[in-house]
Chain A
Amino acid sequence: MQTTIDILGSVGLWAAVLRIATPLIFGVLGALLCERAGVLNLGIEGIMTFGAMAGWLAVYSGAGLWTGLLVAALSGAAFGLLHAGLTVPLGLSQHVAGLGITLFASSLSYYLFRLAVPVSGTPPTVEPFQPLDFGPLSDIPFLGSTLFAQTAPTYLAILLAIALAWILARTPLGLAIRLTGENPHAAEAQGLDPIRIRIGAVVAGSAVMALGGAFLTLAAFNSFFPTMVQGRGWVAIALVVFASWRPGRALLGALLFALFDAFQLRLQPLAGGVVPYQVFLMTPYLLSILALVLVARRARVPQALMQPYHRGER
């Protein structure tokens, strides 16, 4: 019990929470944007992997870190366009197309990585994002070394969550996206173009997902390896449900999951080999299933999620 309290009070834990949450925040926001328009994007796992590779490769080839993020976002947008093309105008199964894109993007990123970087003993590295220095703010006890000791993309992720919440709730564009996800026929009857809105949302959402991947190679670590996304995309898909499709709650959900994860990492060495470490690896996922069961039953699903829209069909 005392150890639990010690861990929860430690600065390292809370600094880690924000760091671990960042790729999830990007992922869940991207997936949420797609789903709010009515398109499930299971390409997320592959898109994040590709984003991790593309961003890293750009920086490795000499581009700046921000350019690396931009390259990652653009590559995500390209896969988003592919997914949108298959599922929106063609109306193919969103599950099948998404899983296909995950497999395709994951393999392609490893292939391109190997083309660019031949096999070597130690993986090549780049100089990653460093924690920002907020001057006096960074000297505040506790907050200074947690909240104000993160890399720039983490703050970008949080700003993005706020921006997306505002766009969806307050702007004509956000309302158009929500209406399309609820009932594309209603959107059409209001003179909106549900096809274009869905394509736009999937492209933008996929770009955001890819940023989550790029965070892994450009801030959390400094090199790329093909399995590094490690199911974060799938967690993001679950978090969207947990969040009831609301950006604010999505941010919260990502932080909560990251807390579980950071906590179990710190609990592992203390268990002293009595409990196999795989059990600890499992706990965040078990807890997120539990949270889903408790929260998601009341969730309001976008009514037209996964329903292809064909013009002129009532």
Chain B
Amino acid sequence: MTSRTAPALEMTGIAKRFGAFTALDGVDLVLARGEIVALLGENGAGKTTLMNVLFGHYSADEGEVRVFGEPLASGRPRAAIRAGVGMVHQHFTLAPNLTVIENVVAGTAKLSGLSLSLPAARARLRELGTRFGLAVDPDARVGDLSVGEAQRVEILKSLFRDARILVLDEPTAVLTPAEGETLFATLRLMAKEGLSVIFISHKLGEVLTGADRVVVLRGGRMVGMRASAETSREELAELMVGRRVERPERHERPVGAPVLVARDLTLRRGGRTLLDGANFTLNAGEILGLIGVSGNGQKPLADILFGLEAPSAGTVEILGQTPARPSPRDMVRRGLGRVPEDRHAEGAIGDLTLWENAVLERLREPRFSGRFLVRRGAARAFAAHLVQRFDIRGAAPDKRIRLLSGGNMQKLILGRNLDGDPPVLVCAQPTRGLDEGAIAGVHARLLEARERGAGILLISEDLDEVLRLADRAVAIHAGRLSATVPTAGLDARRLGLMMAGEDLGRAAA
């Protein structure tokens, strides 16, 4: 029987192994009714795995889950849903070609039923939307919704099925800071109505303001639990990483001549304007931070700068020259170092070895290829040199690069670019998905390059990263750039507004 006083959720001694890898090692978690708990930890700490065990995507190898005092059958999402658990996945589980209401009601009725009873469902969805501030048109096609709206649909899906425990995996990863605040207001409202909420995060700020209690995971174990009112960023950071992380400092230095100038860059594709007249100037010896939520035109901009995509209008000037039809090879030859957004898809080729990846972009250089053959010895030596110089762990020149961790893979990508001291560097989301230690390493490398006079365009969605590293910042929203502002004296709130496109053009340069 469901006990009236039992906590909403008790997970005891949860262990989960994938082959030889232990993802979770005896984790306990208790969630009270009407409580908001943040699950904090780095990538690979086991946060998502723990929640996937709760929701039945995985079966735990050991341990027990009780929901409102009742043991929960493991490995069955259906059982979890029936017990009142709803999960909002980081990568939305929505069908873009179906409507909102179809996404919501799927699976709620018996499959042998003859009708979907959409009118009743619509009314209920509207009622839930008003009650929790989650308004969305039930008959809109999900593919036409904004990311924020899609997330509302995800939450509504759970509420529609009477979820009493709501799990959200990295809910703010795709939201602007303002949307994030709205989300946390909604979660508060739910907690007030007696729902219990767990959200996964690695952002210290939102954990402190958004949750009642913070549970910290590291390496598959629970390493700490704090009431958010009684802890600090520093304490949580140390718990999360397991040691103090030294953050590299930026020192003032004079800037040099422009090295990369974008003039009215515009890209239209299939009737949509992905990039709309982007202008910026990047000088030698500075870091220009391009801040924005993913999907606002960063990728088209980076692809144009890399020479992968021809702009519909506008030009790129690199080191005083304007190539007529830039290709990736041409841009690299002219002195552009590039760190693509997606390490696995564009930065490195997983099944090739370290040395092959190290020389991918410079295969034409005489030192790496003869008339017909690749100079393997020289390439291997170069890879070994990178491994040593950039402290790439667990690496050997003949190892396949997919076996490296994300941080070490990024070190190689950054290293193969920085080794030739390129005067211009375009880094797209260089620390995405990395843990704190690796992030500090990447930051240190970027600051070193700036110190020796490189101009760096840092494309990022992390406010802290831009405020800490960049000399100047520019925001991108819906394909448009804001005015460029110095980061000195700029606060996160103002930058957040710029990201949401609310401060475009009004900023003093």
- Chain B residue nearest to A301 (CB atoms) is B97
Q: Does B441 contact A (CB under 8 A)?
A: no
Q: Are A187 and B113 in contact (CB under 8 A)?
A: no
Question: Given A173-B113, A303-B96, list of 12 further CB < 8 A pairs?
Answer: A170-B115, A172-B110, A172-B112, A175-B98, A178-B95, A179-B98, A185-B89, A185-B93, A188-B77, A190-B107, A311-B57, A314-B89
Q: Are A172 and B111 in contact (CB under 8 A)?
A: yes
- Chain A residue nearest to B158 (CB atoms) is A189
19 contacts between A and B (CB under 8 A): A170-B114, A171-B113, A171-B114, A172-B106, A175-B116, A176-B107, A179-B98, A179-B107, A183-B96, A185-B91, A186-B93, A186-B95, A186-B106, A187-B106, A187-B107, A188-B77, A190-B107, A300-B97, A312-B57
Contacts of B94 in A (CB 8 A): 183, 186
Size category of the binding interface on chain B? 20 to 34
Q: Are B115 and A171 in contact (CB under 8 A)?
A: yes
Shortest C-beta distance, B87 to chain A (Å), equals 7
Shortest C-beta distance, A194 to chain B (Å), equals 11
Contacts of A175 in B (CB 8 A): 98, 102, 105-106, 116
Q: Does B157 contact A (CB under 8 A)?
A: yes
Shortest C-beta distance, A243 to chain B (Å), equals 15
Q: Are B57 and A303 in contact (CB under 8 A)?
A: no
Q: Does B390 contact A (CB under 8 A)?
A: no
Shortest C-beta distance, A81 to chain B (Å), equals 19
Residues of B participating in the A interface, judged by any CB pair closer than 8 Å: 52, 55, 57-58, 77-78, 81-82, 87, 89, 91, 93-98, 102-103, 105-116, 157
Q: Are B57 and A188 in contact (CB under 8 A)?
A: yes
Contacts of B81 in A (CB 8 A): 190-191
Q: Are B93 and A183 in contact (CB under 8 A)?
A: yes
Shortest C-beta distance, B395 to chain A (Å), equals 27
The prevalent SS among residues of B at the interface is loop
Q: Does A267 contact B (CB under 8 A)?
A: no
What is the CA–CA distance of A43 and B492 in the complex, to the nearest angstrom? Answer: 58
What is the CA–CA distance of A176 and B98 in the complex, to the nearest angstrom? Answer: 11
Find the residue from B96, B97, B109, B115 having the highest chain A CB count within 10 A.
B97
Find the residue from A170, A311, A312 having the highest chain B CB count within 10 A.
A312
Q: Are B93 and A189 in contact (CB under 8 A)?
A: yes
Size category of the binding interface on chain A? 20 to 34
What is the CA–CA distance of A192 and B52 in the complex, to the nearest angstrom? Answer: 16
Q: Does A51 contact B (CB under 8 A)?
A: no
Find the residue from B91, B95, B111, B157 having the highest chain A CB count within 10 A.
B95
Contacts of A182 in B (CB 8 A): 95-98
Contacts of B52 in A (CB 8 A): 312
What is the CA–CA distance of A186 and B91 in the complex, to the nearest angstrom? Answer: 10
Shortest C-beta distance, B119 to chain A (Å), equals 13
Contacts of A173 in B (CB 8 A): 111-113
Contacts of A190 in B (CB 8 A): 81, 93, 106-108, 157
Q: Does A302 contact B (CB under 8 A)?
A: yes
Q: A187-B107, A191-B81 known; A172 and B113 CB under 8 Å?
A: yes
Which A residues, 96 to 126, have Cβ-Cβ distances below 8 Å to chain B?
A: none
Shortest C-beta distance, B72 to chain A (Å), equals 14
What is the CA–CA distance of A69 and B42 in the complex, to the nearest angstrom? Answer: 60
Shortest C-beta distance, A175 to chain B (Å), equals 5
Q: Are B77 and A189 in contact (CB under 8 A)?
A: yes
Q: Are B91 and A192 in contact (CB under 8 A)?
A: no
Q: Are A314 and B91 in contact (CB under 8 A)?
A: yes
Contacts of B82 in A (CB 8 A): 191
Q: A178-B95, A182-B97 known; A191 and B103 CB under 8 Å?
A: no
Q: A178-B98, A183-B94, A188-B57 known; A171 and B77 CB under 8 Å?
A: no
